[in-house]
Chain A
Amino acid sequence: MEATMAKALNQALRDSLSADPDTLIFGEDVGALGGVFRITDGLQKEFGEERVFDTPLAESAIIGVAIGLALRGFRPIPEIQFDGFIYPAFEQIVSHVAKYRNRSGISLPITIRVPFGGNIGAVEHHSESPEAYFAHTAGLKVVAPSTPGDAYGLLRAAIADDDPVVFFEPKARYYLKAEVDPAARIPIGKACVRQAGTAVTVIGYGPTVQTALQAAKAAAEDGTSVEVIDLRSLSPLDMDAVMTSVTKTHRAVIVHEAPVFCGFGAEIAARISHDAFDLLEAPVQRVAGLNVPYPPSRFEKLYLPDVDRILEAIDTVIAYG
């Protein structure tokens, strides 16, 4: 079927609720409204108020009760309404969701859904990319799809996973339409080649994959063959896929919206430099958000990685030495 990412996520939730009576969806405005982005649209009507319910407005408790529900045998799928609102729940996620099994032997099959990223012209706190905080924490798995098909497959995989997963949804790509194959299985921890190429590897995840593909297209018009890797999972990180590509291209550019300083790209750059030091023809480049709080929306285009900045980085690694 052809569907938007929003529709694919909605279908993944519906199919998970149908498949397992212990799955529960809850959060702010996920019931009658269907979520501020309508990702849970129609689910309360279909599955009832016991399985899809609104909670009081309290992010820490949303995640805290998810832990208790998981201990009682449920498979909770809490929603955090926006990236910038996840911080009250940070302690519950980092101190408990991530570490509960380590102190009890009990796994918590919780999938925390979070719309993330910018480019939607929003006010403050609605455009952030907090993924590195969570990828830094052992005990969590962290994923970010870039296409409707991956959104469906990865969400099903996350919900089925017995370990907790933080599931970042690129909100600027919710209305991107593409083919979705509900039968396709997309395992957590496996990256994919979005576009094959030979001269440069461009690595992205979530919202930046589309931007990377646009840059690759532009580069191709200039005769530069760009390979685009979509990480899909940040933790676990599929370094094999990255290394396979870099072994071929000898050049890497990493793209994410989060600030460049201590961003997820730093980990990938360090790993590539360590594992492929002798193969590299140029230092690894990072194209990322500026080291500032997410700017007012009229300035967000200057903050976000765009096609031009990616092309510039591609030129830099090709021209190096």
Chain B
Amino acid sequence: MADVVEVIRAADPVRRLFAPDGTLSNEARQSLGLDPEALRDLYRWMVVIRRADQEALNLQRQGQLGLWGQFLGQEAVHVGATIALRETDWIFPSYREFGMAMCRGVDPAAMLTLFKGLTHGAWDPQRYHFAPLAIPVATQIPHAVGFAMGCRLKKTDEAVLVTFGDGATSEGDWHEAMNFAGVFRSPVVFLCQNNYWAISVPLNKQTAGSIAERAPGYGFPGIRIDGNDILAVYGAVKVAADRARSGEGPYLIEAVTYRMGAHTSSDDPTRYRLAADVDAWSAKDPIARFKTTLTAAGVLDEAADRAVIEEAEGIAREMREKLLNAPMPPAGEAVYGGVYQSPPEPFVKEREEFEASLEQP
């Protein structure tokens, strides 16, 4: 009997794109079907979301946001994965996927109202096919699998992408969801953004083994790729999603990247990591790397780059203005309005009492 891992690998179309060391092969780079405009668009998105991320941090520092969790350094995963999907494919994020949401068309200023404390939900998930943020780690993963089980039951051609960090792979929900996906052969792509840090705990204290190589234990393939190479992310997600769509089941992508910033604005990474370690990752910056590639290929010139940077500035400025002017929603609606679809009588009465109490001097 052939080794199960070998059988799963032999039928793995994602692995064919990659050299044994996990880098995207030159042949695969050409086969992605991205014309110069599409390549520039990937670059553009990375620049835009990085600038917005920086602006959000500025807003936090200026007291406008209660908290901000930067994704600096992880732009290739955010953009590559989102653009590789169809718009009808759902994405289930954790809490750091601001960039992915922007790529899906969610208004970044609206999204920041969540961190300003005006709402728990700043967009309509059904409009953007982008689920609400899931703050308790790994809890969104079974939701994604259930959604994918539903796609299979309804016989649609949707795929589902769920993303999480390396820390999430320690949670029971990760295991349970991976197992369900394997058993029900659900059209779901598990995208681990292995950014080396779960707040202050490094990868080697999170797990003693490989993340990607756990997938065959659940009956489907997994691969570890360079998460700072946007084309590698794009290619892996696209092929894994198409494979899921065609009924071949789930796939696990471990995209190796690095959290260049703090866990959140409340964190102090100087207490647990060396500046030199962070500097080493600066050399692998996903935007700088892609810019070099595109420039060398004659796809991006100085003028086009300047235009992208200006556009990003404009988007950040508009986001800032909109956030500063975001109105406080009425308290009754903000506090009580979302809880029930058909609010029970006692609940309605309590809301009325609450609202009446606000009107008293």
Contacts and interface: CB of A to CB of B under 8 A. Distances in A.
Interface in B186-240: none
B345 A60 contact: no
Contacts of B266: none
Contacts of B132: 100, 103-104
Contact of B179 (A24, A58, A72): A58
Nearest to A95: B136
B183 A50 contact: no
B143 A189 contact: no
B150 A104 contact: no
A61 B121 contact: no
Interface string B108-147: 0000000000001100111000011110100101111111
B31 interface: no
Contacts of A235: 344
Interface in B319-349: 338-342, 344-347
A8 to B, nearest CB: 24
Interface in B147-175: 147-151, 153-154, 172-173
Count class of interface residues, chain A: 35 or more
B281 interface: no
B180 A61 contact: yes
A144 to B, nearest CB: 16
Contacts, number: 134
A51 B132 CA distance: 27
Contacts of A138: 339, 347
A92 interface: yes
A179 interface: no
Interface residues of B, number: 40
B142 A67 contact: yes
A122 interface: no
Contacts of B287: none
Given A103-B120, A236-B345, A236-B347, A71 B338 contact: no
Main secondary structure of the interface of B (DSSP, over half): helix
A315 B26 CA distance: 87
A37 to B, nearest CB: 24
Contacts of B179: 56, 58, 61
Interface string A94-113: 01100111111111000000
B331 to A, nearest CB: 15
A281 B149 CA distance: 58
A23 B110 CA distance: 35
B310 interface: no
B176 interface: yes
Interface of B: 120-121, 124-126, 131-134, 136, 139, 141-151, 153-154, 172-173, 176-177, 179-180, 183, 338-342, 344-347
11 contacts: A55-B183, A61-B145, A65-B180, A72-B147, A72-B151, A88-B172, A92-B173, A104-B131, A105-B124, A236-B347, A239-B346
